[in-house]
Amino acid sequence: MESVARADFNGTLEAGFTGHPKFDPLTGEHHALTYEPGQPVRYISLDQNGRATTKARINLPHIPLIHDMAFTASFIVIPDLPVTFQPERSEAKFPWLWDARRDARIGLLPRDGDVTALQWFEAPRCFVFHFVNAYDDGDLTLIDLVRHPRMFDRDHNGPNEGAPTLVRWTLDRRSGQLSETLLDDHGTEFPRINDRFGGQSYRFGYTAHWGRDVRFGPAMKHDMLRGTTEIHHYGPDRMTLEPIFVRKPDALAEDEGWIMSYVYDAARNLSDVVILDAQDFAGEPVATIHLPVRVPFGFHGEWIADDIPELPAA
C-alpha cells in the first residue's frame, strides 16, 4: 500500500501531525499533540475549515512518546511519561524505550496555549497509550485513562509489559496534588465513548479486554457513575477489536446507540462485524455480519455515517 497524498492543512501545519486528534463537539475544534525528535511538543488546534494553528510549543528535557491526548473545557492534557527517545539503546526498530531515569507527570495547559500557566502534577510511573475522557469539576480536573505498568522495558518490540487497567486521575489544581482511583481491574484497552461528551462530564466508556500476553476477548461497558462493568462475551475463541459507539438518530440518553466492532473467530480464521445495543450490552447482538476474510488485528476503527443524499432517478 502506498500513500494517496500528503496533507499539510493548506500550508498551515508547521511539522508533523498525529494519529490521535480529539474532536470538541462544543467548539468544532480538533485538538492535537505532536512530537518528533529534535522538535518541541506542539499543541495544535484545527478549525472547522481544516486550518491548523500551533497554539503552544512545549520544550521538555527529553523526547517523550505521546501517543494520545485528552482535553477539557479549559485545558489540554499533556502527558510526560517515562518512555523516551533512546535509539542508542533500542534492540528493535522502535527507538522509544522505558526510561528508568524519568519520573511521570501530567500537565494542564490552558487552551489558549499559554505555556507560562502550564501546571504539572506528579503522576504514578506508568505509560498511557489511550485516554478515555477528561473534564473539569470546580477546582478538580478528572482524567480517565488506561494505565500500563510500564512499556518497552524488557520487550523493546512491545506492548507486552503487563495487563493495563482503567483508572481515574483526579488533579486538584489548588493543591497541585494528583490522586488515583482504580475504576476496573480487568485488563483493558482501546477505550471509546459517545463522542458528543468529549471534554465534558460523562458516564459510560467502552473497552476491549486485554489479558496476559496481549490476549483479547470480550468487550466491556463501564459505568463511571456507579462503578460497575458489564461484559459482552462473543463466544469461545472470539475476540473483539476496538468497540465503537454509534449514536442512534434522535437519541436522548448518553448510551442510546450501538456498539460496533470487528470480532475475530479463531475457529474459522475469519472475522465478523458484530453490532450490540449499548443499552442491552450483555444481550444478544442486534446483528452479525459474516465477512469472507480475516481482518488483521489493528488498533482503531471509526464509523462514518453516509449522509450524502440520494441522487434523483435518471
Chain-centre distance for alpha carbon 240: 17
Contact 271, 293 (CB under 8 A): yes
At position 83, the amino acid (one-letter code) is V
Q: How far apart, in whole angstroms, are the C-alpha atoms of residue 40 and residue 36?
A: 8
pLDDT per residue rounded down to tens, the chain (314 residues): 688 888 889 899 988 899 899 999 999 999 999 999 889 999 999 998 889 999 999 999 899 999 999 999 999 999 999 999 988 887 778 898 999 989 999 999 999 999 999 999 999 999 999 999 999 999 999 999 999 998 888 877 777 778 899 999 999 999 999 999 999 998 999 999 999 999 999 999 999 998 766 678 999 999 999 999 999 999 999 999 999 999 999 999 999 999 999 999 999 999 999 999 999 999 999 999 999 999 988 768 888 887 755 544 43
Q: How far apart, in whole angstroms, are the C-alpha atoms of residue 153 and residue 305?
A: 41
**Grid coordinates in use for 47?**
478549525
At position 240, the amino acid (one-letter code) is T
Q: How far apart, in whole angstroms, are the C-alpha atoms of residue 26 and residue 200?
A: 9
**Nearest-5° angle of CA 229, CA 235, CA 240?**
65
Main-chain dihedrals φ then ψ at residue 117, nearest 5 degrees: -100, 10
